[in-house]
Amino acid sequence: MANPTATFETSLGSFNVEIFLDTMPVTAGNFIKLAGKGFYDGLHFHRVINNFMIQFGCPHSRDPNSRQAGTGGPPTGNIQDEFLPTARFSNEPGTLSMANTGRPNSGGSQFFINTVHNRFLDWFDTSTPSKHPVFGRVIEGMDVVKKIESTQTTAGDRPLTPVQVIKISVQGA
């Protein structure tokens, strides 16, 4: 059976992702559950760093000017880290990766889309303590992701012109 896909309808266009439910059931399942409940609809990308990544999923980013944007998580709480030897996906361009605080089991609703190969963020890379499991990849619309990445930002990496995710629709879950 094929993995589910998700369509991100944003203020700068749409893109589609494959969600690795077959190999990353905890992380992918958490994303699918939150998307299905409409948790992500109306939130904004709160951290955009050119030649690195775009980050999303903080409930405080509903207001793109909130000073708390980037500090929140889902009402259901954090999820267990999913570092599986059978799912050694690297943080390559276009992959979705779970954000966390650096502490074990601190992922929740926030994730980022890599725009370059950030192998130092791989959970199996020992060069840094950062460990971010990949749970999906962009399969269509990488040009939209690159458009978001190139948005002008403040010194704090927030887009000057807010970029909103209007709706995320999951198919095949």
The active-site residue out of 112, 135, 137, 164 is 112
The Cα 18–Cα 24 span in angstroms is 12
Check if 60 is active-site: no
User: Residue 48 and residue 150: Cα distance in Å, rounded?
Assistant: 8
| 164 flagged as catalytic | no
- b/e string for 94-129 if b means 16 or more Cβ within 10 A? bbbbbbbeeeeeebbbbbbbbbeebeebbbeeeeee
Q: Compute how many other C-beta atoms are within 10 angstroms of the C-beta atom of residue 171.
A: 11
Q: Of the listed 21, 31, 46, 47, which one is catalytic?
A: 47
Catalytic residue (one of 46, 132, 137, 158): 132
43 catalytic? Reply is no
Q: Could you confirm whether 3 is annotated as catalytic? A: no
Note if 55 is an active site residue. Answer: yes
**Catalytic: which of 21, 34, 96, 121?**
121
Q: Is 83 a catalytic residue?
A: no
16 is catalytic: no
Check 8, 43, 45, 55 and give the catalytic one: 55
Q: Which of 3, 30, 100, 114 is catalytic?
A: 100
Catalytic positions: 47, 52, 55, 100, 112, 121, 132
